[in-house]
């Protein structure tokens, strides 16, 4: 075989303008030229690599007409047809970076105008929205008809399925103009079609619908596209109307059913689950009362409890814990349902993972916080407190406090909720029996383990508040003269009353913070009075500000101080002496407790005439009376 003949360039026809490419060709010249690649004849056999010495290849160019169509798909890297078409101001050119397949996809979208699809500007108008909805309706009907006619021959309906996929994605921009698009969407009756497609045989179509609904129900819909002058209340009203129609078509139940259909090992399905969780968050955020419907009417709670138990942490596991925390925030029915589904046991099991190790990143830290927040929300119910005890939740929290990892502050918060109120009496007794006082007062004094030094430990703020809450609950619930109560009082005596001194230091710190807030409120009062406005309507808001600004801590400290002063003569004498050094007396404590008394609600009464236990207000009255006599 003659290798030279195989790679020999064909002769140019007579009159052809054959030339070599200049050293610095211009972009215009490159646009009119193409490379000639030597191609072997179909029947020619490829020679072995060593059959002949390699020859230097020559590249020639020839003039090509603008309408020549046989240039070849692979004449540039990646089959990019615009490889030589893009250039900067200095004449340098670069490839578009797209493969021939990607170019084809873009061409399909560019040619969508042939199907009467409006451009971006027109799509945001009423006319454009109607065209998009009409296109979607036709695509859905055509696909349904072809699937019914050829159920066993996918080749007959695959094209209509692709059109339906494209039509659904084309509806995504509707979220930019909810005031215009949502009324049209409802009026057209296509909401029912959208929801119905969640049951489509092709899971990809269901995923498209999930993504679309997630986008349409986002609480920030229309914030960027619509004018700032537009009334946000109108956008909110349009969103709520759409959610109402979606609910009327049982979308919540269908979404929960689809969650078991998706396989999270696949990226598309994993994103689909994420979008479903996002829809639930959007719906509950817009209509908080739907939290109970989600829990009571669907299997979502069971799915969430199962999902957070996954050994491997990922985005959906974190989102499941966040949604669970949202659903349990303020619904007593949801708390009870959690107990019925062994949710307390599940939450404690997941929380135990962080007893001896810290979360690996901020996402897992947020996951851990949501798990503990879910527990804290549910522990407001007496029956959940009982389940917490039966599941040995107190022992787990004490061990977590002992290990002093990041979860320690969350365990303190959980115990504060579990031990509060009269229903927490048994929890308080179990806490002392489990050796919790040692670890509690270690946190009270602000002590951290060696491995925690250098890390951020919120002892001075959140931790301190919950530690004080636990001590307050212990004093309220532990029986008089019981060994547990005596052990508690002994903590304030040991080491020359160091914990009593710490309590007084916390009192002074809270007073300092509260003084700043009081000055701000007084300044606001003067302005309102000068303007002749009624300040009585602002009193409740100011009181809440004072609570956040240090009053709550001050009230809890003085409540504890009143108890220990009343029960131990040595503590009383020491506290009086230390208050004198700060130019304070028990009258200052009484003043704080009186404000506390006036704003606390009655508790502890039964259906009979007499209370089953002393109410919080009755306890405060007795403390005030004792301090007044000192």
* Burial (CB count <10 Å: 0-12, 13-18, 19+), residue 620: buried
pLDDT at 150: 85
Please tell me the distance from the alpha carbon of residue 335 to that of residue 333, in angstroms, as a whole number: 5
pLDDT for the residue numbered 153: 86
Predicted local confidence at residue 223, as pLDDT: 62
Cα atoms found within 13 Å of the Cα of residue 225, Cβ hemisphere only: 19
Per-residue confidence (pLDDT) for residue 19, from 0 to 100: 45
pLDDT of amino acid 96? 54
Structure tokens at 618: 């009755």
Please write the tens of the pLDDT for every residue from 11-56. Answer: 444 444 444 555 555 555 555 554 444 444 444 444 444 444 444 4
DSSP result, 216-232: HT-TTTTTTTS-TTS-H
H helices within 115-262, ranges in order?
Answer: 120-123, 126-149, 154-169, 178-188, 190-196, 203-216, 232-248, 251-261
CA distance 280 to 323: 8
Q: Is 461 exposed, middle or buried, given 0-12, 13-18 or 19+ CB atoms closer than 10 A?
A: exposed
CB burial of residue 69 (10 Å; 0-12, 13-18, 19+): exposed
Count the residues in the chain. 630
How many other CB atoms are found less than 10 A from the CB of residue 45? 9
Using alpha carbons, select from 575, 566, 592 the residue that is nearest to residue 485: 566
H/E stretch holding 300: helix 300-307
Q: What is the pLDDT of residue 404?
A: 82
Distance CA 487, CA 264 (A): 53
Question: Under CATH, which number does the domain 116-287 receive?
Answer: 1.25.10.10
Q: Are 379 and 414 in contact (CB under 8 A)?
A: yes
Strand partners, 19: 61
Specify whether the CB–CB gap between 87 and 93 falls below 8 A.
Answer: yes
| Stretches in the chain below the pLDDT threshold 50 | 3, 6-8, 10-19, 34-75, 83, 86-88, 90-94, 113-121, 226-229, 449-459, 604-612
174, 188, 196, 283, 409 from 183: Cα distances, Å: 11, 9, 19, 18, 49
CB-side neighbour CA atoms (13 Å) of 109:
11
Numbered ranges of CATH 1.25.10.10 in the chain: 116-287
Q: What is the pLDDT of residue 30?
A: 52
């Amino acid at each position: 075989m003659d290798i030279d003949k195989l790679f020999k360039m064909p002769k140019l026809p007579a009159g052809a303008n054959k030339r070599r490419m200049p050293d610095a060709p211009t972009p215009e010249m490159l646009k009119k030229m193409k490379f000639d690649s030597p191609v072997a004849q179909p029947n020619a056999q490829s020679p072995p690599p060593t059959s002949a010495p390699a020859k230097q290849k020559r590249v020639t160019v020839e003039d090509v007409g603008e309408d020549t169509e046989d240039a070849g798909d692979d004449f540039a890297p990646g089959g990019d047809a615009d490889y030589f078409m893009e250039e900067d101001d200095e004449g340098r050119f670069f490839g578009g970076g797209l493969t021939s397949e990607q170019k084809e996809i873009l061409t399909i979208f560019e040619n969508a105008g042939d199907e009467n699809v409006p451009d971006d500007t027109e799509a945001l108008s009423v006319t454009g929205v109607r065209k998009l909805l009409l296109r979607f309706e036709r695509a859905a009907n055509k696909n349904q008809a072809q699937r019914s006619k050829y159920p066993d021959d996918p080749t007959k309906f695959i094209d209509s399925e692709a059109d339906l996929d494209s039509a659904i994605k084309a509806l995504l921009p509707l979220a930019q103009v909810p005031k215009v698009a949502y009324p049209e969407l409802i009026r057209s009756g296509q909401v029912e079609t959208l929801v119905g497609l969640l049951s489509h045989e092709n899971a990809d179509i269901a995923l498209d619908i999930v993504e679309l609904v997630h986008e349409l129900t986002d609480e920030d819909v229309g914030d960027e596209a619509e004018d700032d002058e537009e009334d946000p209340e109108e956008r909110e009203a349009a969103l709520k109307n759409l959610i109402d129609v979606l609910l009327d078509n049982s979308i919540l139940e269908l979404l929960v059913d689809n969650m078991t259909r998706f396989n999270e090992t696949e990226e598309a399905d994993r994103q689909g689950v994420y979008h479903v969780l996002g829809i639930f968050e959007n719906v509950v955020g817009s209509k908080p009362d739907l939290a109970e419907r989600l829990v009571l009417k669907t299997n979502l709670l069971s799915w969430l409890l199962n999902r957070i138990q996954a050994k491997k942490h990922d985005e959906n596991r974190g989102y499941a814990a966040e949604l669970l925390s949202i659903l349990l925030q303020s619904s007593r029915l949801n708390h009870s349902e959690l107990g019925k589904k062994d949710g307390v046991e599940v939450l404690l099991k997941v929380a135990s993972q962080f007893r001896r190790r810290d979360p690996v990143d901020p996402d897992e830290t947020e996951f851990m916080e949501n798990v503990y927040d879910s527990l804290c929300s549910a522990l407001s119910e007496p029956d959940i407190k009982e389940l917490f005890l039966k599941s040995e939740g107190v022992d787990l929290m004490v061990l977590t406090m002992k290990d002093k990892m990041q979860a320690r502050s969350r365990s303190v918060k959980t115990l504060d909720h579990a031990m509060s109120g009269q229903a927490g009496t048994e929890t308080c007794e179990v806490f002392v029996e489990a050796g919790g006082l040692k670890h509690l007062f270690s946190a009270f004094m602000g002590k951290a383990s060696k491995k925690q030094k250098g890390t951020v430990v919120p002892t001075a703020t959140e931790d301190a508040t919950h530690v004080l809450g636990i001590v307050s609950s212990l004093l309220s619930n532990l029986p008089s003269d019981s060994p547990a109560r005596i052990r508690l009082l002994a903590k304030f005596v040991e080491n020359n009353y160091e914990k009593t001194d710490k309590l007084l230091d916390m009192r002074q710190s809270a007073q300092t913070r509260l003084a700043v807030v009081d000055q701000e409120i007084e300044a606001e009062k003067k302005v309102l009075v000068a303007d002749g406005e009624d300040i009585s309507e602002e009193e409740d808001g100011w009181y809440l500000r004072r609570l956040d600004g240090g009053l709550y801590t001050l009230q809890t400290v003085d409540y504890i101080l009143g108890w220990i002063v009343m029960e131990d003569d040595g503590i009383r004498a020491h506290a009086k002496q230390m208050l004198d050094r700060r130019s304070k007396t028990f009258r200052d404590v009484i003043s704080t407790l009186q404000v506390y008394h006036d704003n606390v609600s009655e508790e502890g009464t039964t259906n009979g005439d007499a209370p089953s236990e002393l109410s919080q207000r009755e306890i405060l009255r007795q403390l005030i009376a004792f301090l007044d006599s000192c």
